[in-house]
Chains A and B, each alone.
Chain A
């Protein structure tokens, strides 16, 4: 199978070499290195020799199962209930700690539970924090990818007009992208503080009806606050990509559609949107990958807290590999993240393919 790529194309390969070389050195090699390390017990600091441990790291990371707990019964065999009439259950730790009858649950912790009848179904995992970080990351991606993409498109349509001083608006929307994410995160930490700007604005707008809340200190609002801030911060970048897409659409198409008497919506639906097809695929994939890599905001604003409500996969990988000196555990997380992002990107490619 001789193709142009392999035959008499030395100059081409020579030109490609610097780029390929850097990619290989900083992306491909580290990935294989991470995959190898995840199969060992490599530590950051240790005089002990590195040992091959097979899939142990993945086992302790991913082990998860469901534990059914029957409510406590009294001597007469009736279910013990508290004042609200809810059944009383034995504690999960009685099953997972030092209980030879349930060796399969040893060392596991409760993640969440639901009830079927009087039986409590408890999802227990060896590494609850990892599962929580996976859930948080997915929730982040699910919200940020569509919302950020849509707002960026809206902004791009707004600034894609021949108005005086339009460049000022373009600059304003793009500014957060240029500022370091660490600085932005620090500023937003102050905005979100209990006596911060956001609470005072909401208080003033509601004539004092709104009581200040601790946005980043409350497990219910912390991740939402970080989503909002992240969308604001990077929306300008994607706006510029959309804008470049908009400007490749030929003006003759718009002229034709206006001669045909198309409404604004029809113009957008049948001229603009089809013309943005490739841009849309690019924006979607880029946002998804950036969102999966969420780290700096977490590191600066919450450190994963409160109660793991904002911890993310990348944050866990760094925290374990470097903070807790467990390079192999951090590598295992990286490999799992790589597989997830790869799968999602392939699915996105398939769904947005040229038919």
Chain B
């Protein structure tokens, strides 16, 4: 008798649970951080809290390794199998939005208040994606290195000028203390090149494409300012200041800490490792001002809703839920990224006032410039990467940049102007 009651109770309870689950509409989500346990745990936590907090939606997550994430999305889109909630890299978003892989995210402007500009993915006047974090790049060096070389310590208000920076590189090389003066990170092929190096070009006064129309690269990528950038870029390698395209990836990761390089151009995600390695006078300096202001790249991974999703309001509800400061701070503490809001930064371990990486929040806040917001960026980025690698390997600067501008223009033309 007792057993029967228990069984009946269990049956009733499970039916009830199943009934509840059925009432929730399932929303699938794809995420780029497969293989990273910390990251997955935080995301799973957000998802389960969201699923428990309301009864309309039930989010399930599938993670992919970052290297093959974009390919997976493109393949799924061609096959018509996109999930509902998409994780998208900031600069790629316009391409997917233009292709119809994504639709505008029906999120309230109030939910976005106080967010760093670059964490909000806007295209054609609409919000398509929102990021829980941003990333920033800084010049890593040691105070003792600057003192030994007799170089001024720059600040956000007064970054190095081109002459000062070149003099610092020459002094570092002349000191003989370093294998190379300046590690720009040539070993990190792929998106690192346009993300990290196009701000140098912009600081010279050029750009990957002409942002006033987004219809041509002529003059932006091969104008006089761009040629000046190209000559300077090439000099980094011909003068022996920077290791070239065949830099060992292990040196890229550990070379600065080991003292092989005087300066290293690296992202905030490497900051923790450098701090924990026992360098007590580590500095994160702003990019040099090459004439047109000091600037760095912006926009990291963001959440949006796929074009085929039938429940954009459900996706928006999830994104709004995920944008709570406690989650932003959790991601920051877990994987070292810059929280999207000042409040979350204050809650985080490293980006709060006096925190070890605080300076990155200000870099993002004051200097960040998103990569060209155009569907053509995906191809332009590849062309730019190859041009910079070729110039580093000794190709003629003017010819290489001309060819790159031509290739970008041909691509824009073949795509009917990418809707601009």
| Chain A residues with a Cβ under 8 A of chain B | 41, 43-48, 60, 91-93, 97, 107, 109-110, 128, 193-195, 214, 216-217, 219, 303, 305-308, 322-326
- A107 contact set on B, CB distance < 8 A: 406
Q: Determine the residue in chain B with the shortest Cβ distance to A96.
A: B402
Give the contacting residue for A47; candidates B99, B244, B379; CB below 8 A: B99
Q: How far is the CA of A1 from the CA of B245 in the complex (A)?
A: 63
- A46 contact set on B, CB distance < 8 A: 99, 415
Whether B246 is near chain A, meaning CB under 8 Å from some CB there, is yes
Given contacts A92-B399, A109-B403, A323-B382, contact A214 B246 (CB under 8 A): yes
- A217 contact set on B, CB distance < 8 A: 244-246
Q: Determine the residue in chain A with the shortest Cβ distance to B99.
A: A45
Docked-complex contact A305 and B74, CB < 8 angstroms: no
In the A-B complex, list the 4 residue pairs whose CB atoms are closest, starting with the nearest. A217-B246, A306-B393, A45-B99, A307-B393
Docked-complex contact A194 and B246, CB < 8 angstroms: yes
Whether B2 is near chain A, meaning CB under 8 Å from some CB there, is no
Give the contacting residue for B398; candidates A93, A219, A305; CB below 8 A: A93
Interface residues of B in 64-112 (CB under 8 A from A): 71, 74, 77, 95-96, 98-101
Q: List 5 A-B contacts (CB under 8 A).
A: A109-B402, A194-B246, A217-B246, A307-B395, A324-B382
B384-399 interface mask toward A, CB cutoff 8 Å, 1 = contact, 0 = none? Answer: 0000011001110011
Q: How far is the CA of A41 from the CA of B410 in the complex (A)?
A: 12
B403 nearest CB across to chain A (Å): 5
Docked-complex contact A45 and B95, CB < 8 angstroms: yes
- A214 contact set on B, CB distance < 8 A: 246
Q: How far is the CA of A194 from the CA of B399 in the complex (A)?
A: 29
- B411 contact set on A, CB distance < 8 A: 324, 326
- A44 contact set on B, CB distance < 8 A: 74
Q: How far is the CA of A125 from the CA of B162 in the complex (A)?
A: 37
Whether B414 is near chain A, meaning CB under 8 Å from some CB there, is yes
Given contacts A217-B246, A307-B394, contact A97 B402 (CB under 8 A): yes
B258 nearest CB across to chain A (Å): 14
Docked-complex contact A93 and B399, CB < 8 angstroms: yes
- A308 contact set on B, CB distance < 8 A: 390
- A43 contact set on B, CB distance < 8 A: 414-415
A329 nearest CB across to chain B (Å): 9
State the majority secondary structure of interface residues on B. helix
Instruction: Give the total number of A-B pairs whose CB atoms are below 8 A apart.
Output: 68
B208 nearest CB across to chain A (Å): 15
B93 nearest CB across to chain A (Å): 13
Docked-complex contact B379 and A325, CB < 8 angstroms: yes
Whether B277 is near chain A, meaning CB under 8 Å from some CB there, is no
Q: How far is the CA of A214 from the CA of B403 in the complex (A)?
A: 27
Q: Determine the residue in chain B with the shortest Cβ distance to A308.
A: B390
B419 nearest CB across to chain A (Å): 8
Given contacts A216-B246, A305-B245, A325-B378, contact A45 B74 (CB under 8 A): yes
Give the size of the chain B interface in residues (CB under 8 angstroms). Answer: 34
Docked-complex contact A41 and B248, CB < 8 angstroms: no
Given contacts A41-B414, A45-B95, A193-B248, contact A305 B389 (CB under 8 A): yes
- B390 contact set on A, CB distance < 8 A: 305-308
B407 nearest CB across to chain A (Å): 9
- A323 contact set on B, CB distance < 8 A: 382
| Chain B residues with a Cβ under 8 A of chain A | 71, 74, 77, 95-96, 98-101, 189, 244-246, 248, 378-379, 382-383, 389-390, 393-395, 398-399, 402-403, 406, 410-411, 414-416, 419
B224 nearest CB across to chain A (Å): 14
Q: Determine the residue in chain B with the shortest Cβ distance to A325.
A: B379
Q: Known contacts A303-B189, A324-B383; can you find 17 more A-B pairs with CB under 8 A?
A: A43-B415, A44-B74, A45-B99, A91-B398, A92-B399, A93-B398, A109-B399, A110-B399, A217-B244, A217-B245, A217-B246, A305-B390, A306-B393, A323-B382, A324-B379, A325-B379, A326-B414
- A193 contact set on B, CB distance < 8 A: 246, 248
Q: How far is the CA of A43 from the CA of B395 in the complex (A)?
A: 30
Q: Determine the residue in chain B with the shortest Cβ distance to A196.
A: B248
Q: How far is the CA of A42 from the CA of B37 in the complex (A)?
A: 40
- B393 contact set on A, CB distance < 8 A: 219, 305-307
Q: How far is the CA of A303 from the CA of B415 in the complex (A)?
A: 26
Q: How far is the CA of A322 from the CA of B382 in the complex (A)?
A: 11
Residue in A44, A324, A325 with the greatest tally of chain B CB atoms within 10 Å: A325
- B378 contact set on A, CB distance < 8 A: 325
B281 nearest CB across to chain A (Å): 29
Docked-complex contact A306 and B245, CB < 8 angstroms: yes
Residue in A47, A107, A193 with the greatest tally of chain B CB atoms within 10 Å: A47
Q: How far is the CA of A219 from the CA of B392 in the complex (A)?
A: 13
Q: How far is the CA of A109 from the CA of B222 in the complex (A)?
A: 15
A352 nearest CB across to chain B (Å): 41
Q: How far is the CA of A107 from the CA of B218 in the complex (A)?
A: 12
Docked-complex contact B382 and A48, CB < 8 angstroms: no
- A306 contact set on B, CB distance < 8 A: 245-246, 389-390, 393
A90 nearest CB across to chain B (Å): 13
Q: How far is the CA of A48 from the CA of B419 in the complex (A)?
A: 9
Q: How far is the CA of A194 from the CA of B251 in the complex (A)?
A: 12
Q: How far is the CA of A41 from the CA of B419 in the complex (A)?
A: 16
Q: How far is the CA of A93 from the CA of B96 in the complex (A)?
A: 35
Q: How far is the CA of A324 from the CA of B412 in the complex (A)?
A: 12
Q: How far is the CA of A219 from the CA of B246 in the complex (A)?
A: 12
- A128 contact set on B, CB distance < 8 A: 403
B306 nearest CB across to chain A (Å): 14
Q: How far is the CA of A45 from the CA of B394 in the complex (A)?
A: 34
Q: Determine the residue in chain B with the shortest Cβ distance to A222.
A: B246
- B398 contact set on A, CB distance < 8 A: 91, 93
- A109 contact set on B, CB distance < 8 A: 399, 402-403
Q: How far is the CA of A190 from the CA of B183 in the complex (A)?
A: 20
Q: How far is the CA of A110 from the CA of B189 in the complex (A)?
A: 26
- B77 contact set on A, CB distance < 8 A: 45
Residue in B74, B99, B246, B379 with the greatest tally of chain A CB atoms within 10 Å: B246
- A303 contact set on B, CB distance < 8 A: 189
Q: How far is the CA of A174 from the CA of B244 in the complex (A)?
A: 36
